[in-house]
Chain A
Amino acid sequence: MNDKKCCHELLNSISDYLDGTLEEQHCRELEKHLKECENCNTVTNTMRKTLDLYHQISKKECLPDDVRNRLFECLQLDEFIELE
């Protein structure tokens, strides 16, 4: 497999690779390529880091109290509002 083709293939498989759902043989070929190709290695690492940063900033925020109160009011569920 020439490098250019492999680099192009990496872009198509990178999501599956990072999710750990890439088929085994394909995964081995990619990892071999990553050891040899600095550019693809950078793309893979920066994408992994990108996802990692999004996970970090998306710590589970909760609904603000006033929004929650208005939701229960509009659903006419006021009597259950303290339920948590």
Chain B
Amino acid sequence: MTQLADSSNEFSLEALRSGNKAEFARLVNRYSNQVYRIAMKIVADASDAEDVLQETFIKAYKGLPGFEGRSSLATWLFRIATNEALMVVRKRKPDFVLVDEPDYSEEEEGNYQLQLTDWCCMPEAELLTDETRSYLEQAMQNLTPALRVVFVLRDIEGFSIKETADALDVSEQVVKTRLLRARLRLREDLSQYYGIKMAERSAK
């Protein structure tokens, strides 16, 4: 998946760097939906997401004259956006540490408590009701911010591992490790949730 890599070529870097407003407006049009979506998934609040959106493009506009093009324009923009979003989350919980979250250490030592209900056979209509949709959102919000941001970029927005790593300024190995943890955690949550649904269903 290289959806980010090539998209930046649509823009004239020269015009953007020199503060050309029409070209900047095109950039805003091109990426504002995606920046807003990412912000919403990370901060889970419409007003905060709007702040992140505005701040991202204000910073981008100010930063463009110094943009050297070492990463793609899109990657650079999403890096600003994810940093802004994580800053909002951090302000809410000043004690939260982004990098070293030991919440999975027990599992890593092999003490997995796996849910083994096979809920795949449930009818699609029951897997996706309004109620289950909001549970899915909630489960994602329950991930630590470091795991959530990787899951959002990779699995929701469809970035490649490399694109996710570039946007977050971490190694691909770090992305892979966090992605695995996020996916395992969500699978666990959903298995528990749908397990209960299945039990209720067969009790009827």
Contact = CB atoms under 8 A, between A and B. Distances in A.
A78 to B, nearest CB: 10
Given A46-B118, A46-B191, A54-B155, A71 B33 contact: no
Given A11-B112, A75-B28, A77-B28, A47 B127 contact: no
Given A42-B117, A46-B187, A71-B32, 10 more contacts: A11-B184, A14-B183, A16-B176, A45-B120, A46-B115, A46-B191, A54-B186, A63-B53, A77-B28, A80-B22
Interface stretch (B54-62, B65-73, B77-85): B54-62
A71 to B, nearest CB: 6
A77 B191 contact: no
B190 A53 contact: yes
A76 B28 CA distance: 12
Nearest to A12: B180
Interface of A: 8, 11-12, 14-16, 21, 39, 42-43, 45-47, 49-51, 53-58, 60-63, 67-68, 70-72, 74-77, 79-80, 83-84
Contacts of A47: 183-184, 187
B159 interface: no
Interface residues of B, number: 45
Nearest to A42: B118
Contacts of A75: 24, 28, 54, 57-58, 61
B88 to A, nearest CB: 16
A56 B191 CA distance: 17
Contacts of B57: 71, 75
A14 B180 contact: yes
Contacts of A62: 33
12 contacts: A14-B184, A15-B176, A39-B116, A46-B190, A53-B190, A57-B128, A60-B37, A63-B33, A63-B36, A67-B36, A71-B53, A77-B28
Nearest to B185: A50
A47 B21 CA distance: 45
A83 B118 contact: no
Q: Which of B26, B32, B115, B127 has the most CB of A within 10 A?
A: B32
Contact of B183 (A15, A45, A55): A15
A64 B166 CA distance: 28
A21 B26 CA distance: 35
